Amino acid sequence: MELKPLIDVKNLHFSYKTHKILSGVDLKLYKGEVVSLLGPNGCGKSTLIKLILKLLYGSGDILINDKTITNHSHRDIASYIAYIPQYNNTPFNYSVMEMVLMGRISKLGFFALASANDYEVANKALQKIGIWHLKDKAFGQLSGGQKQMVLLARSIAQEVNIFIMDEPVAGLDYGNQIRLLELINELSAQGYTFLKTTHYPDHALLISSRVVVINGGKIIADGAPHKVITKEMIQDVYSINADIITHDSHKRCVPIFQKTI
């Protein structure tokens, strides 16, 4: 029996006035996948995410759990999908626990008080991510890596299985980048589904089950990471030379450049 996609994007088009961003995009997302969207700046990766979240409106169709997005309210979408943005700066200095409890809004409404059950869900989410010890800390005083962990915990407290992440490692130091990728990998093994944008072919090779390459507003490749990320693709999309090597059974993308002495 054929698996049904959790998200099914069909013939999606989008333009800003006369500037076409996406042209005829088709994309399916299945349970437990980690799908990385690769492509140069301005190719339409973030726009695609905003269309799926109904933050922008295009032509074509997007189905979430077999239901067209036009029949989904934003609260409906939040009951299926958690969005983790590239940056998160809050105007108020909420505690980590308060930030995680915000994941319960789609269940409670904006002005409802959190119940004992909501606190239990939030505590379990913090424990799952391994940051329960930060629960009383001020969110604004955390490092970039810690903030991303809090946003992941908030998404888990939202009790959804689809996470959409826009450049999740942006601004993180190298150690926190790898720790976040390891956490995404662990959560996908537990059945969570990820759609994320990235500028790093190496990161896509490390943890993705599929890689989708967007260029010129169209999907030009969609498949297993080792088949999609090739030196020919890197040259075509980014106009640089690179080798794809194997180290300890893992593929790596190594850029080639002439060092000036």
- pLDDT tens by residue, 41-76: 989 999 999 999 999 999 999 999 899 999 899 989
Does residue 1 register a pLDDT over 60? no
Does residue 93 register a pLDDT over 90? no
What range defines the domain where residue 181 resides? 1-80+161-261
167 shares a domain with 132: no
Which residue shows structure tokens 């726009």? 47
Mean pLDDT of 171-189: 90
Q: Is residue 67 part of a domain?
A: yes
Q: What is the pLDDT of residue 260?
A: 76
Q: How does the average pLDDT of the chain come out, rounded? A: 90
**Rounded average pLDDT over 155-182:** 90
Q: Is residue 225 part of a domain?
A: yes
Return the bridge partners of 38, or none: 213
Lowest mean pLDDT among 80-94, 190-204, 233-247: 80-94
Do 43 and 213 touch, CB atoms closer than 8 A? no
Instruction: Give me the pLDDT at residue 88, please.
Output: 64
| Spatial contact of 213 and 219, defined as CB atoms under 8 Å apart | yes
pTM for this model (two decimals): 0.90
User: Considering the chain, what percentage of its residues have pLDDT values greater than 70?
Assistant: 95
Tens digits of per-residue pLDDT, 203-240?
A: 999 999 999 999 999 999 999 999 999 999 999 999 99
Residues 72 and 168 in one domain: yes
Residue 74 to residues 61, 79, 100, 247, Cα–Cα distance (Å):
16, 9, 19, 44
CATH number of the domain to which 243 belongs = 3.40.50.300
> What is residue 87's predicted lDDT score, i.e. its pLDDT?
64
Judgement on whether residues 130 and 167 belong to the same structural domain of the protein: no
Same domain, 22 and 151: no
Tell me the three state secondary structure of residue 60.
strand
Nearest to 181 by CA among 212, 204, 154, 163: 204
Q: Return the closest-CA partner of residue 98 out of 48, 61, 135.
A: 135
Domain for residue 85, yes or no?
Answer: no
Token pair, residue 227, equals: 């088949």
pLDDT at position 108 is: 72
Instruction: Clarify whether residues 169 and 246 are in a common domain.
Output: yes
Q: Count up the domains in the chain and report the number.
A: 2
The confidence score (pLDDT) of residue 214 equals: 97
In this structure, the answer to whether residues 61 and 165 fall within a common structural domain is yes
- Top pLDDT among 259 and 196 is at 196
